[in-house]
Amino acid sequence: MSQLSDLILKQVQSAAAGRDLSSSVLNGLSDSVLNSIKQTATSANGVQQLTELFTGKTSASSSSVTALATQIFSSQVAGKLGLSSAAASSASSLLPTIINGLVSAISSKGSGMNLASILSAVGAASNSSTVSKVTSIVSKLGGLFKKR
What is the per-residue pLDDT for 17? 92
The one-letter amino acid code at 106 reads I
Give yes or no for a contact between 95 and 32, defined as CB atoms under 8 angstroms apart: yes
Higher pLDDT, 26 or 127: 26
What is the per-residue pLDDT for 90? 94
Of 64, 66, 51, the C-alpha closest to 96 is 66
Higher pLDDT, 2 or 47: 47
pTM over 0.85: no
Report the chain's mean pLDDT, rounded to a whole number: 84
